[in-house]
Amino acid sequence: MITSWAGGLLRHRAGRLLAAVAGIALAVALIASLGSFLTASKATMTQRAVRAVAVDWQVEVQPGADPAAVLRQVRKAPGTRAALPVGYARTAGFTAQVQGSTQTTGPGMALGLPSGYPRLFPDAIRLLSGSPTGVLLAQQTAANLHAAPGDSVGIRLPGIGARQVRVDGVVDLPQADSLFQKVGAPSQSQPTAPPDNVILLPSERFTSLTRGARDLSTQVHAARDAQLPADPAAAFTAVTGAAHHLEAQAAGAALVGDNLGAALDSARQDALYAQILFLFLGVPGAILAAALTGAVASAGGARRRQEQGLLRLRGLRPRQITALASLEAALVGAAGGLVGLGVAALTGHLAFGAWSFGAGAGTWVVWCGLAFVLGIVVAAGAVLAPAVRDLRSASVADTRKESGGRSARSPWWLRYGLDFVLLVGSWLVFRASSGNQYALVLAPEGVPALSVSYWAFLGPALLWIGAALLVWRLTLLALTYGRPVITRLARPLTATLADTTAAVLARRRRPLARSAVLLALAVSFAISTAVFNATYHQQAEADARLTNGADVTVTEPPAAHVPPGAADTLKVSGVRHVEPLQHRFAYVGPDLQDLYGVRPDTIAHATSLQDAYFSGGTAHQLMRRLAQRPDNILVSVETVHDFQLSVGDTVNLRIQDARTKSLRTVPFHYAGIAKEFPTAPKDSFFVANAAYITKATGSDAIGAFLLDTGGTHQKQVAAHLRTQLGTRATVTDLTQTRGTVGTSLTSVDLAGLTRIELAFAVLLAAGAGGLVLALGLAERRRTFAIATVLGARRGQLRGMVLTEALLLIAGGLAGGALIGWALSEMLVKVLTGVFDPPPASLSVPAAYLTLTASTAVAAVLAAALNGIRRARRPAVEELRDL
């Protein structure tokens, strides 16, 4: 019997089975793809974090401890590949005789590096000119002293005076922040800026020069090669545990500056955000695919109940009928699961070059197993559960009715207004979870574990469900009470059958409402995913531009006096505009902050100023205020709160006078807030009129030049300027900064995540729009045949089908657009922690959304045209088969 039943299903219900298999395959493929990719992404984050660190550990030898003993302990620590001692000496300054003039600098640092250091830590030092060995001068120090390889430099050491050395090369220190960190400082304290002046000496030369000097210390720099877990959080725990173990073994003789742990700490937060995005953006797609499968199964519900009633009349027991339903569920679930796993593997191969998306074989098998089980569960819920329910609640006579014996009353959620309750609850949760003090990912100081406020997930979830139910309600109302309107709309297509068409649609309002809801949810899924992805990349680009300042930025050394007229020398081929930017330092009370002098009328020609960067006015309005009143100033939010400022208040800053070299008080007037500004730090700073600063300080020295290249050829322009300027200035370009400031979430994982989701969103939209309608039309062949017998012309039948399809398209796309817009706004607001800086407006990818809408419309129309084509069969033959 089971074999005969299975054969009959394959012969006579192949279309219905294939549709259910397609829905399950989508759910399985989406979960397998996203799960595998998420795991592979976490491993990628760990690898990127490890590669980004030049020196894994900086172990500082404490006063009175034996450096050699500490070096032995570090080398014996499990996971240490190699370790070298590095000497640190504070200097009182540097001097150089260049072209008959004496150049001097302020305090700095001298480092003693053993031989083999560049080979062991290749990313710590980057050669710019001269020899890679010997006495090496940092680029900024070389610029301050106007020194080059071959020049002599004096090192003033406290307690022993000046020592002369000959410069062999000029280098850049890419990770100077960590190289000169204060090891053992509390993590919540502000990081100290690296010294402006640095010289690197061979260890033997360092020892001879610093003999008898004060302020000497030793660090042991270690490279690690321990096998770390793939997950950044687990790797962070392992690395910090090893560092703490070494400090315990040293018994107070050493403190570990754990650079590798700091990098993994940032990566684990990125990994957690990637996991959150997986839940926010991926899980709805899987739920939607499961709902699509349920809708596909329910499209043939009436026929399945009639078949069940016939089996019961022929004497089959409930257990046997349940076994037959289980067989169908197993066939659909197994086939859909296998097809879905194949689609997932193919997606990984085509999009990422690996069947497993880069995840390990074991992890990929686990995710495939979980996705396959999900497919079986969805099949059981869509096919087996309704059969068991009908066995328990419907009599044989009920199964002959189209309704299956179920009540014609409105669903309970419709009567009690559950959709409105959910939408109000979503709004309340959203208000609470998007407040100023809200943080989605919590990383408490001193606590190794991160935590997620899953409360925020409730807002979008309630919105998604509540909006779907509201679309259902509105569709039912429109089809029930809008029959006169539908009649007028259908008349051009159905002629005299317009009233009949409206009546049929009103009678089928529940299946049609379900189809509209599925299409709306599929479209909203595509919109919210696409808009979030586009907005994220827009803000990632804004962050890179904020950090770099412009397409290309030329930063002058602090001690250099470069006038604004030097901009003319930077107008090389490819540069459209050069904007000078002053950079000074100013005291407000006891706080020292960065002060930027701008030309308000032209600053926007070289860089983008978004309104979101400011408060108290738009970017254009605040720049105009600086131009109209030169002593106006823009301050940070922290300064406004700390000093209780109101617009128009006088702000007295102490700025160094270029003529007397002493601090003088300069009055400004608070005109607005600058939350972000090109090249400015993330914390407190000021923005003022450059002409006013020049007049008040007697100096027009420029700190940086912002170059606009029109968004193209940044690398080529930057390379040309580096050759032209040599070591006199630092040249950075936007493409270089993108890789520096972009997290692994930005540059790798979010892009891959959304590529998967956007592809599946198009398929879901097509399935929700066309598949359910096609199956519904197939189940109504008897209705079309009877209408033909009663005299309906083929054109009128075509009009009936097209009217239903057009109503489905209108309701689904309109509902999907509204839900997608609301979800996008909520997701971007709730996930504010992902964006830096927060967006002023959403970015809408019009091309992708047009493709999605076109695909959905094409699928619905294709289903409608196929239904019309099948209606051409002679009515007598159709009725005989049915």
pLDDT along the chain (882 residues), means of 10: 66 71 84 80 82 91 92 92 93 86 87 92 88 90 86 90 90 87 62 80 92 89 87 89 92 91 83 73 77 71 66 72 80 88 83 72 84 87 77 62 57 89 90 63 49 72 91 91 89 85 84 87 87 82 85 84 90 92 88 91 89 88 94 91 89 89 90 90 88 92 92 90 85 79 54 72 79 66 66 76 87 92 85 70 87 87 76 52 49
For 585, counting Cβ atoms within 10 Å of its Cβ (0-12 exposed, 13-18 middle, 19+ buried), the class is middle
**Residue found under tokens 């002058």:** 556
pLDDT in tens, 788-798: 766 667 777 77
0.85 exceeded by the pTM? no
SS3 247: helix
| Residue 804: how many other CB atoms lie within 10 Å | 24
Per-residue pLDDT at 753: 65
Q: Which of 505, 293, 321 is nearest to 382 (CA)?
A: 293
Per-residue pLDDT at 438: 54
Sheet holding 80-91, edge to edge: 126-130, 169-172, 136-138, 198-202, 108-113, 80-91, 216-224, 57-61, 254-258
Distances (CA, A) of 482 to 184, 488, 499, 801: 73, 10, 12, 18
Per-residue pLDDT at 558: 72
Distances (CA, A) of 8 to 316, 335, 612: 17, 17, 64
| Residue 135: how many other CB atoms lie within 10 Å | 22
Assess whether the previous peptide bond of 149 is cis (omega < 30° from 0): no
Residue 465 is encoded by which pair of tokens? Answer: 């469900």
| Residue 72: how many other CB atoms lie within 10 Å | 13
Cβ–Cβ under 8 Å, residues 154 and 94: yes
| Residue 644: how many other CB atoms lie within 10 Å | 7
SS3 873: coil
CA distance linking residue 12 with residue 677, whole number of Å: 68
Cβ–Cβ under 8 Å, residues 843 and 534: yes
Q: Which of 780, 714, 739 is nearest to 52 (CA)?
A: 739
pLDDT in tens, 623-669: 999 999 999 999 998 888 888 889 999 999 999 888 887 889 999 99
Cβ–Cβ under 8 Å, residues 178 and 257: yes
* Domain boundaries, given as residue ranges, for the chain: 1-50+268-408, 82-225, 471-549+742-882, 561-727
Residue 748 is encoded by which pair of tokens? Answer: 């790798």
Calculate the dihedral angle through the C-alpha atoms of 149, 154, 160, 161, rounding to the nearest 10 degrees: 180
For 608, counting Cβ atoms within 10 Å of its Cβ (0-12 exposed, 13-18 middle, 19+ buried), the class is middle
Cβ–Cβ under 8 Å, residues 109 and 89: yes
